[in-house]
Amino acid sequence: MYQYLMLLETEKEKEFFKKLYDLYSHEMYYVSYAILQNSSDAEDIVHDTFVTLTNHLSRMMNNPPHKNWNYILTIVKNKSYNLYKRRKREIGSERDVSERGDVFSEGMDVRMAKMEQKELFHTLLKKMRKPYQEVLILQYYHEMDVMEIAEILDKTPDNVRHISMRAKKKLQSMLEEYGFFE
């Protein structure tokens, strides 16, 4: 914590920062760990978040605690998701390199159809309401279960299940409009 305090100028900022650190550092770690499932990555995210916060303390000092927590939570989630996506891309690119020999074993028309379906799915997902998007992305892209999604979105597991069910029905009806189902 002392390394962060050296970045601050006034005593008031230092006291406020100590208070934030004491109140939220553990919760920040748990949120990040829930997304990343890696202790050292979660610690790095908490560190990066605190460095970011040192630049915004003057704006936060007059806010109510719940507003500060929401702001901190947003930063932690975004940094965690960005790292998660970056790691997933790195793993995917390593896998792509190892599978390049098999690229031509699958017909060109099959690969094109898969690409078109994936592109259509992304387009339809963008047209959906925000809660539907969030749940489907966390469920299928990030492969999270209902409990993890509920914790991240601050909803009950039953609520997440209902949102997921409605989102899937909406997606199916949108696909029917495009002629994928009869």
Domain positions in the chain are: 2-83, 106-177
Length of the chain: 182
pLDDT computed for residue 97 by the predictor: 46
CB of 17 within 8 A of CB of 31? no
Is a pLDDT exceeding 60 seen at residue 100? no
To 10 degrees, what angle do helices 11-36 and 39-54 make?
150
In CATH terms, are 2-83 and 106-177 the same topology? no
pLDDT computed for residue 182 by the predictor: 52
Q: For the chain, how long is the longest CA-to-CA vector?
A: 68
% of residues, the chain, pLDDT over 70: 79
CB of 104 within 8 A of CB of 135? no
Mean pLDDT throughout 30-53?
Answer: 89
Nearest to 163 by CA among 121, 133, 122: 133
Lowest mean pLDDT among 40-54, 132-146, 157-171: 132-146
Which option is the CATH number for 106-177: 1.25.40.20, 3.40.50.620, 1.20.120.1200, 1.10.10.10?
Answer: 1.10.10.10
Q: 106: pLDDT confidence band, cut at 50, 70 and 90?
A: low
C-alpha pair distances (Å), 101 with each of 93, 95, 104, 148: 14, 11, 7, 37
Is a pLDDT exceeding 50 seen at residue 65? yes
Q: 111: pLDDT confidence band, cut at 50, 70 and 90?
A: low
What class has domain 2-83?
mainly alpha
pLDDT computed for residue 43 by the predictor: 93
